[in-house]
Amino acid sequence: MLYEMAVSIETSRLLGYKALDAIVKGHPDARKYSCMAKVYAGEACVKATYNAIQIHGGMGLSTDMPLERYYRDARLMTIPDGTSEIMKLVSGYTLLGKGFSAYT
């Protein structure tokens, strides 16, 4: 579980850097990369905090440890500024190009 957590965190970081680089350079795929980074990082946070709770067992849900709060905070990262599902639709639209839309 620790391996999966570390890999997903590093992948999230690299996707974020790629999105930032595309934005700074004015690359036409900047929106696609930023949507991918937001969705992946948000879902990686949820999974990493879930795994941390699993590792700690019953104590993971105790208010004596901050993990239960971290899990709630991570879950909220997938909702504001566009839910993960909306971000996936935006990414899909940019992948398929003009003429394709999930909204029609």
Per-residue pLDDT tens listing for the chain (104 residues):
999 999 999 999 999 999 999 999 999 888 889 888 988 999 999 999 999 999 988 888 888 888 888 988 888 877 766 677 777 777 777 777 766 655 55
Angle at 80 between CA 10 and CA 76, to 5 degrees: 65
Angle at 40 between CA 96 and CA 25, to 5 degrees: 65
> What domains can you pick out in the chain, each with its CATH number?
2-96 (1.20.140.10)
Q: What is the pTM of this model?
A: 0.77
pLDDT at position 6 is 95
